[in-house]
Structure 1
Amino acid sequence: MFQAGIHAALPSLGRHLFFRIDQVGALAQALDRLGSHIDGEKAVLGIGQGLAVALEQTVPGLRVFPEGKAGQVRVPSTPSDLWVWLRGEDHGDLFERSQALVRDLAPGLALARATDVFRYKDGHDLTGYEDGTENPEGDAALAAAFVLNEGEGLNGSSFVAVQQWQHDFPTFDAMPSAQQDNAIGRRKSDNEELDDAPESAHVKRTAQEDFEPEAFVLRRSMPWMEGRQAGLMFVAFGKSFDAFEAQLHRMSGEEDGIVDALYQFTRPLTGAYFWCPPMHDGRLDLRVLGW
């Protein structure tokens, strides 16, 4: 069984917690306590490559996020050892759950950073454009997001790419509305795809059905805001990292030299990969990690 929060609709609020290994000798204690905090629905968990290596285990398909460039924009790799996506409807509840996690995972794992996210309108980016329009649905979403036919401990698991993007709103706001639409490849007014959008339009760069093989992912992105800075916490689940990487490479212009127009007004601050284990009898199934 997969972690239900991956497939569920977006919550009103969320909190992304990124942990690093602090004391290897205390990891066993941390993992023993972890299960009581992760139900797969209100709390989704991902394991980083560093944690698997520390446990002397191999998760097939798990690797480190690839660093790269898109024109003059750096696409960073910022690995973390453990990721938890808390989902909820109340800031106080998210705070209390965060504090409990940090307390119980110490001293094996320490909180490296945390980012609060929220749903904007009906799942829109802060630029005003609807996000995740081309998400697969129903059985197609399950086929895109989860591992199947790979055996116990792997079936129902998922791989997730997490990137925090920071928007340059003065630059974006200075763009005429037609230029904004051409950068996205859709009209903001009605979300209709533009037939005559340039090849640099984000919609054309990431058209999932245009790849060979098709590159479908299940996006669960939400906006973030901290002080005067804001943007999108991009989250994409897949049965492997292959579909995400195919889109990332095309956005960066690696295939044809055409860089995604998104990079005109936004850039990624982080980039990390995680493996999201399946659930078994209501608990995390960590047998692949020897647990």
Structure 2
Amino acid sequence: MPTDIPEPQAVCDSISRSAIFLVATLKAGPDSASTVRALCADVAALVRAVGTRAPTANLSCVCGFGSDGWDTLFGAPRPANLHAFREFGEGKRRAIGTPGDILLHIRADHMDLCFELASLLMERLRDAVSVVDEVHGFRYFDLRDMVGFVDGTENPSGREAVEFALISDQDPAFAGGSYVMVQKYLHDMVAWESLPVEAQERIIGRRKLSDVELADGVKPSSSHSSLTTIEKDGKEVKILRHNMAFGRPGAGEFGTYFIGYASAPEPIEQMLENMFVGRPPGNYDRLLDYSRAVTGGLFFVPSASMLEDLADRDPQASKEESPSAG
């Protein structure tokens, strides 16, 4: 990582075996905002306190804030590309936006550590926020998603992960930060499993067992891998996925929690437009005939050092100092 970029949160850490995703909205009143800001300074200490119980389990927590949440909690200045989740598609095939001011992405190789940290964080936040979505995710075999294909094959790693996932000189005041988009997908596994493997492979664009990408002459332009490949100026633009499987077999619930980090929302939004609208329009991702997005949120993840500094941010003062104030 370049030395001039502030220390990031654990955005580029390797994929864990377990994760808890918490999305919450702020309760009304100044005390709620003050409680959240105070926690910003203590998240790293709580991670260390719980993580020392199993040092090799790689416990981490990434904290992100939605557009409205940022304004309420911190005011100006604000990240250049932070905005409300943009919806795509229509009817049953639609990427919907759902409420969310705060995102906590907690992960480790043991669920008990995730659970303990989530409990401590919510003990601090309980009177200040309302949890609107909570998902406990797990690694499914060899990084498979719930529909049986390897997930995140094209994830960038090393310096490439830093390049694609973290902000640098494009928004210097927020360098070391990242944008993260989350969606919870539910799958119709009965309908999906009724398809022959060859049909599933054409929908995904890869072989199910080997994970080898289908040849260009075989892979449909409507395949998931085709539509989520983004190029700009002749170069592929990647995002960093930390997707997790989740479900409740007794309730017939089987899902994938999509979480993608990027230095700007644009590439993820382009992927969603390609999937839900089509490239060209109408040539949509056929996986959506079997998968439905039920949540959607966009958040900004400040650098680790900025997260601690935000504890002292006074949003009212930033309004008074703004040239447009009054």
Deviation at 1:7, TM superposition (A): 0.7
The residue correspondences of 1:220-259 to structure 2 (distance < 5 A) are 220-226=242-248, 227-256=251-280, 257-259=282-284
Q: 1:211 to 1:67 in 2, by over 3 A?
A: farther
Once the two structures are overlaid, the 10-residue window that deviates more, 113-122 or 203-212, is 203-212
Distance in 2 (CA, whole Å) between partners of 1:254 and 1:89 is: 37
Unaligned ranges ≥5, structure 1: none
TM-score by length of 2: 0.82
Larger deviation: 104-113 or 181-190?
Answer: 104-113
Give 1:10's aligned amino acid: I
Change (3 A) 1:80 1:212: farther
Query: Following TM superposition, by how much is the alpha carbon of 1:265 offset from its aligned partner in structure 2, in angstroms?
Result: 1.1
Larger gyration radius, structure 1 or structure 2: 2
Answer yes or no: is 1:9 the counterpart of 2:14: yes
Partner of 1:43: 61
Q: Which residue number in structure 2 is paired with residue 279 of structure 1?
A: 304
Q: Which moved more, 1:239-248 or 1:249-258?
A: 249-258
**Alignment CA distance shift 1:213-1:88 (3 Å):** same
Identity %: 25
Alignment equivalent of 1:262, drawn from 287, 310, 313: 287
What CA distance in whole angstroms lies between the structure 2 residues aligned with 1:154 and 1:287?
A: 16
- 1:54 aligns with 72
**Distance change (3 Å), C-alpha of 1:60 and 1:287:** farther
1:191-206 to structure 2, matched below 5 A, reads: 191-195=211-215, 196-206=218-228
Structure 2: distance between partners of 1:105 and 1:71: 36
Whether the 8 Å contact between 2:227 and 2:275 is mirrored in structure 1 is yes
Aligned partners of 2:67 and 2:83 also within 8 Å:
yes
| Kept after mapping to 1: 8 A contact 2:150/2:211 | yes
- Aligned partner of 1:94 in structure 2 is 114
- TM (norm. structure 1) is 0.91
* Residue 287 of structure 1: how far off its partner (Å): 8.1
Deviates more, 1:94-103 or 1:167-176: 94-103
What are the equivalent positions in structure 2 for 1:130-169 lying under 5 Å apart? 130-150=150-170, 153-169=173-189
Counterpart of 1:7, as a letter, is C
Aligned to 2:143: 123
Give 1:290 shift: 4.9
Secondary structure, aligned partner of 2:25: strand
Does residue 21 (structure 1) correspond to residue 26 (structure 2)? The answer is yes
Matching residue within 176, 191, 196 for 1:176: 196
Shift of 1:29: 2.7
More helix by share: 2
Separation in 1, partners of 2:234, 2:86: 21
User: Which whole-Å CA distance do the structure 1 matches of 2:99 and 2:192 have between them?
Assistant: 29
